[in-house]
């Protein structure tokens, strides 16, 4: 979206959008048209999930916001790194395909 090539971190951004909606019941950016939604993604930060739903645990709020980072370097490096972080947050081992 910012003129950078797509990478695994692009997929992690998309996962962040889905996670945000699961936690809050709303998308991170809303507007009347897709164009305005795209502009908001570039120019604004979403409200942290905990502001919308105070029941969201702080660690999950932080992870969601990092998945939605505009700079791909602010996101986990790949899906494996995300799984490791989820294991740390939950104290559970996740099976891998």
Predicted pLDDT of residue 41: 87
pLDDT, block means (10 residues), the chain with 97 residues: 73 96 96 91 94 97 96 94 92 78
3-state secondary structure 14-78: HHHHHHHHHHHCCCCCCCCCHHHHHHHHHHCCCCCHHHHCCCCCHHHHHHHHHHCCCCHHHCCCC
**Whole-number pLDDT of residue 94:** 77
pLDDT of residue 70: 93
Could you give all domains of the chain from N- to C-terminal order, each with its CATH number?
A: 9-86 (1.10.510.10)
DSSP state of 5: P
């Amino acid at each position: 979206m910012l003129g950078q090539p797509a990478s695994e971190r692009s997929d992690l951004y998309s996962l962040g959008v889905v996670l945000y909606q699961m936690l809050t019941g709303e998308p991170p950016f809303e507007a009347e048209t897709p164009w305005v939604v795209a502009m908001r993604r570039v120019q604004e930060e979403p409200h942290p999930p905990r502001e919308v739903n105070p029941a969201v645990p702080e660690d999950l709020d932080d992870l969601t916001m990092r998945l939605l980072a505009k700079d791909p370097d602010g996101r986990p490096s790949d899906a494996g790194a995300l799984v490791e972080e989820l294991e740390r947050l939950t104290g559970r081992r996740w099976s891998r395909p």
